[in-house]
Amino acid sequence: GELSGPKGFQLQPKKPFSDARLSDDRNRILATYLNRGYLNAEVNATVQRNQSDPLHVDVTFAVAERQLVQVSQVTYVGREQTRLSMIQNTARIRPKTPMKRGDLLEAESRLFALNIFDWSKVGPKRPITDQTDEAAVVRVHESSRNEIAYGFGFDVAHRGGNVPSGSVAVPGLPPVDLQNHEIAPSEATYAGPRGSIEFSRRNMRGLGETASTFFLVSRLDQQIVLSYTQPQVIGSQWSSITSFSGERTTENPLYAAQLGTGSFQIEHLISRKKDTRLQLRYRFNKTYLTDLLVPELVLPQDRDVRLSTISGAIIRDTRDNLLDAHRGTYATVNLGLTPTALGSSATFAKLFGQYAYYRTTHSIVFANSVRLGLAKAMAGSFVPTSELFFSGGGTTLRGFPINQAGPQRIVPFCDVLEGESGCVNVTVPVGGRQLFILNSEM
């Protein structure tokens, strides 16, 4: 029939005509039929000059639907260690349903995203001609299950305290701007062996689960990281990741730190089209700081902190590019409860929400973002500095140095700065229990 300007089409009545827009609309119509199981559909477009007005054209799309193709049966090829139920639950191709092109492509993507196959292919067993029923074939090629990476060397270094240059970072606390000063490295030279090894075992139990371990050992830093991922928890549509990590570091002359983290998170994809996810998480974190070169830099309550947090988050992301968005939205809401009853140093609740909107008009990107944060101590407790809110810098308020838009306190750095003798006062952000930031830019 004649194109009358339906929503979503590039060509519209009384609008400029172009061959590119015509091709886009034709492909859109064809894709609609393919994604409904009409795999042999054909769409042709014709353009004729309007008889009464030579400056206008009439566009006609001729559609031949042909037959609807059903899935007669599903055959699985190439699996060796992987359980059949795992592939079935991931591909989600069912007999006696329309053989939709979009479903076939999404099945390929889901299988490949398991990270246990070198490649995956899902499609009809035979080319579609005039048949109304056809078998679907799911082909996979399993990757190597074991992977090991290692490195060994000899380390010679001075202990430095700038990350990045001109600022100082303490675990769990925001970076502090040193106003163009730098921490003087320690006089001693530390030398010793340094080595790391990482081992991963994929597709454990034939269910796509992956276990990995990482070890790093040097004179000033020792780390261990363990993780276990499950793409399908007990055959459900929930995925999970369990991780444990520990570190002891004396690389920074300002402090010695012992850090430990354990977490368990499950995630459910609510909508793949709009990339909407629900996350539920438990996390335990311990930070223990000693040998502070500038004791006033860290408040006494932040030197030995335990956090045991139950939280939930909803995330929706329709941005076209995560790092340089031109259109789409990003929205997230995260609510967490950290009680002393679960082993925390303090009892408090924390809420953080963000909504960002991007739109492009005539090559100009209009970007907007609003952020709201609330943290509240309960039962006469407090909120550790690591859980407070900070602003200032290129990603929040550009008119301020990093983390400097908010309350500050003065900390004297005495005989620890490069090329400075005596004491230099440095402003250290205190943080706040409420946050509201609105950014709008073109």
Please say whether the dihedral angle defined by the alpha carbons of residues 297, 301, 305 and 307, taken in this order, is positive or negative: negative
CB 107 within 8 A of CB 87: no
Q: How do residues 365-417 score in pLDDT, each as one tens digit?
A: 999 999 999 999 999 999 999 999 999 988 889 888 888 898 999 999 888 88
HEC sequence for 49-70: ECCCCCCCEEEEEEEECCCCCE
Percent of the chain with pLDDT over 90: 72
CB 98 within 8 A of CB 34: no
Q: Is the pLDDT of residue 430 over 80?
A: yes
Q: Is the pLDDT of residue 422 over 90?
A: no
Could you give the CA distance from residue 45 to residue 48 in angstroms, rounded to a whole number? 10
Query: Which among 242, 248, 296, 284 is positioned nearest to 264, based on CA atoms?
Result: 242
> Are β-strands 133-142 and 70-77 bridged in parallel, bridged antiparallel, or unpaired?
parallel
CA 208 → CA 107, 205, 262, distances in Å?
A: 15, 8, 22
Query: Which among 291, 296, 299, 297 is positioned nearest to 159, based on CA atoms?
Result: 291
Query: Which among 145, 120, 124 is positioned nearest to 133, based on CA atoms?
Result: 124
Q: How do residues 121-173 score in pLDDT, each as one tens digit?
A: 999 999 999 999 999 999 999 999 999 999 999 988 777 766 666 778 888 88
pTM as predicted: 0.81
Contacts of 67 (CB under 8 A, 6+ apart): 38, 40, 130, 131, 132
Q: Which pLDDT does position 187 carry in this prediction?
A: 66
The dihedrals phi and psi of 326, each to the nearest 5 degrees, come to: -115, -25
Query: How many other C-beta atoms are found inside a 10 Å radius of the C-beta of residue 203?
Result: 22
Mean pLDDT of the chain: 91
